[in-house]
Structure 1
Amino acid sequence: MRGTTVLPGTPCVTPSNGQPPVHRLEIRLPDDVPFAVGTFDGIGPLSRADFPHRHTFYEIVHVTRGSGTHVVDLTRWELSPPHLGLILPGQLHHWENAQGLDGSVVLFTPEFLVDHPGDQELLRRIGDHPWLRLDPAAHARTARLIAELTEEYGHGDAGFATVLRSLLHVLLVRTARLGAPEGPGREQPPQGRHTAVADAFARLLARTGKDGAAECPRSVRECAEWIGVTPGYLTEAVRAALGRTPGSLLREARTQEAQRLLARTDLSVRQVALRTGFDDPAYFCRFFRRETGMSPGHFRKHHTEHGAEQHAKHRSKHRSKHHDRRAASIEAEAGPA
């Protein structure tokens, strides 16, 4: 499973160099199914974690009640339920001032999608609109699907993993529709080899290391070599499938990862440059200013006041014995809801 799942009782990845903790998904024995679903209470306290952390897996949240804010990377989503949200592997997120939070959580790894490889493209599309407010009809449909997932997961009957994958596929298809443009120009999923190459490129940009941080490729040529196509064909395929050039998407991915590291870690600018594929810190600073309009130092000063407050709060909790035990637990205390 390429290290994305762990046996019950395995601790989370130990943070280093000021990095936030990285949570992995506990597999269900004896089936080794990298999937979990349940209520916030059923999944466990870390489903409401108020300190920044990353996952090595996908998380879908269906919020039915509560107030507060869900923070993903540098974007703040105010709660006004019902909502349906998606957190991608490697994204930094936490809940802030959450009161009365209720609903369901669906957790799964990329490997779980083996029966439906097209679901990677659906997740990419949902990631373009990752936080949706549901109308009554969409809310009811979503609740029914998640209830079926919960029932199937809880019973664990023969073939339940295949049923879970099928139900999850339906959930992803319907969620992707909610975030798609409306009208005669409604986006249609691209087909053929262009789609496969664009999917591979998107997975490459979303790739994370063992500590959950993004591993940004350095160039379009490097991406093309990894995928096994020419840079020209990669540009053609990505433009046809996604409507943008791979160069612009790569710059965006590197910029976003640099922003995450500057705002949420204690890494120096030189260390952030190296982590995002820049050997020359001065060139990194010029790149960052060109992409964001401000220097790395100015960005960190502007965006870390709130982050420092959260970090101090987390460190205070971490010193307590209770939090020490919880910090060593798995994000998904996987079990029947």
Structure 2
Amino acid sequence: MSDRTIELQQDAYDLRLQINRLEEELHAITTPAALSTQLAQIAGARRQLDQIQQQLNAEPSGQTREPILSLQSHSPQPVTRGGVTRGVETTGLEATVELKMQYVPTAIYHLLNVETDPFVYGRVANRSAKTRRLRFTSYIEGYSARAVDTVEIPRDEQAELLQLPTLFPERLQHLTELTRATLNVLVEDLDGNVETHKTTPIWLLARNSAPLYVRDPSTNGWNDLTRYLGAFVTPNAPAIMHFLREVADHHPQKQLFGYQEGQDVLSQVRAVFDALQAVQLTYVNSTVTFNPEESARSQRVRLPSESLAEKQANCIDGTLLFASLLEAASL
């Protein structure tokens, strides 16, 4: 790693700290002029960070980035079976697999679409003289089911695959910290011969970590996941449904009608506000989540039921709690 690269990485780190500080100060700003100035400073710092990131991407790293799995003939460690190399010369196959997310956003993972937000990308080219049938499998050991695709590839053609193994919900219930896990990738032909079985370490984000962006390690670009923040709105949680009784007590008619004809919606929204005010929630700005490699940008989030139970929330916690109560009241 060159001195220039180290210097750029330090500049990027300092800018991230500056951006975090400026964003935290937003909560205390009360005037439109000061807010506009602060937002402009944040935007300027982000532009500088983007420019530095582009320079880092252009810097020679001194090493070639390899996909997490390679059966190509130039692979430094070709797969062997009984002392015989199973590369493109012996199998007639060129297989490449790329990891699309090194940090798995467990809180919203179930909402991801394999076509737009895949976890694993695979490409297999058939260089042999006959049609080949292959099974491609990926899974997170101990945390997911197996994603399986079977493909038939004619000679001199290739197939591309996208996979998003389904996580086991019960395994995520107690995932409250950043956790290390292992991704398994298996490529085999339908005669039972294993072409390769490769493992690679990944990170599982805590279930209370709201992912804003995750880095694609194959392109070094950022994937925007902010559209999935609605996953933290939980109107059907028992604690939310139970609290609706408190909300109704703060309505002049002691009832909640939703959008029924002739009913005043604003008074129902006011009842939600008054009920939450009576709880005396305390503002606690606990937003930081640990990320050792800056490959995910996320914020700690309390579930609405947790905000009620703990009687504390930050801005996004309060927004999610209010939205959950409104939806539970059919508003």
TM-score (norm 1): 0.23
TM-score (norm 2): 0.23
Greater percentage in strand: 2
Between structure 1 and structure 2, the one with the greater Rg is 2
Greater RCO, CA 8 A, separation 6+: 1
